Amino acid sequence: MSAPVLAATEKNIFRKTNAHNGRRVCITPANSSMRHLAYSRIILNTSKPTESFSTAERETGLICLSGEAIVSVEGKEITLAQRDAMYIPRDSTVKIATKTSADLAEFSCDVANRYPVQVVRASEIAKDAGLQFTTGSPGCTRHLQMLLAKNIQAGRLIAGITQADPGNWTSWPPHEHAAMLEEIYVYFDMPEPAYGIQLVYNDTLNPELVTVVRDGDAVLIPSGYHPNVSVPGHRICFLWAMAAHREVEDRQFGVVNVQPGFNQGPTGLEAGQAGRKK
């Protein structure tokens, strides 16, 4: 009886997606429960200083996690530094290079339409209280950066970063948005011995996923409530990327259903909704 439970526990998690050089396509609709969303990790250094790829029918977002990368697309060269992001349209040829080192997360979704190249600077995000904000309450305080959200034009993709205070919960109160959006969490900037606990469940008695998460792990959330918590003394930090099921129409941040019993107050996501400022 234990084997099927183990398979179910592990089916929506990909471990150590940052353990390589170059570009690795980690998660796609072909190898996972995602309908639209894909995730790749690009790690460049002196032994592997460049990568090239085509976006084909997929809009693509790049988020620079560390180092500095030079992205060439549509005849332009754009330098991305830490926490900068970039939106690249479908049907593009992309080259990424570094003079030192760079670690980038790449998220993509299939889209029918083509939207323009857009660059998002972390320094500009920091000036906007609707794009970078602290939310929650004691025990669930976290800090959000909305990198590829209401600030850009896109078809399906929304992405950003959440960092919790040590020992705190995030995605709290537990909420879900499966009718509109699927999601991937990618844990980063969590050096050993830091770790967290991730839950994904539609039914609290039979959760789809309850697991330890560490730096480099990626969790898939096709549906269900998805809270997580860091261990005392260590923070939890993760990228989140969502894909709207209906292009443009469902591309909305913060429109969620809170788990019954936990819906007495705000969701903590209000500042990030379109048209809202904290």
- Tens-digit pLDDT profile for residues 53-99: 999 999 999 999 999 999 999 999 999 999 999 999 999 999 999 99
Structure token pair of residue 65: 């996690």
- Count how many domains the chain has: 1
For the whole model, what pTM was predicted?
0.93
H or E, element range at 9? helix 2-10
Rounded CA separation 142/65 (Å): 18
pLDDT of residue 6 exceeding 70, the answer is no
pLDDT of residue 135 exceeding 50, the answer is yes
In-domain check, residue 2: no
Mean pLDDT of all residues in 232-252: 97
Mean pLDDT of all residues in 110-139: 96
Rounded CA separation 109/38 (Å): 6
Give me the phi and psi of 111, to 5 degrees please: -140, 155
Mean pLDDT of all residues in 161-188: 97
Structure token pair of residue 278: 């904290």
In-domain check, residue 267: no
In-domain check, residue 249: yes
Q: What is the pLDDT of residue 209?
A: 94
pLDDT in tens, 189-230: 999 999 999 999 999 899 999 999 999 999 999 999 999 999
Give me the phi and psi of 7, to 5 degrees please: -60, -45
In-domain check, residue 207: yes
Choice between 5 and 103, residue whose per-residue pLDDT is larger: 103
Can you give the residue range of the structural domain that contains 115? 7-260
In-domain check, residue 218: yes
Rounded CA separation 174/228 (Å): 9
In-domain check, residue 128: yes
- Assess contact for 253 and 271: CB atoms under 8 A: no
Q: What is the pLDDT of residue 8?
A: 38
In-domain check, residue 125: yes
Place of tokens 């008695």: 205
Q: What is the pLDDT of residue 168?
A: 97
pLDDT of residue 7 exceeding 60, the answer is no
CATH code of the domain covering residue 59: 2.60.120.10
Q: Which of 175, 256, 245, 247 is nearest to 34 (CA)?
A: 245
In-domain check, residue 265: no
Helix and strand counts by DSSP (H, E) for the chain:
2, 23
pLDDT in tens, 142-166: 999 999 999 999 999 999 999 999 9
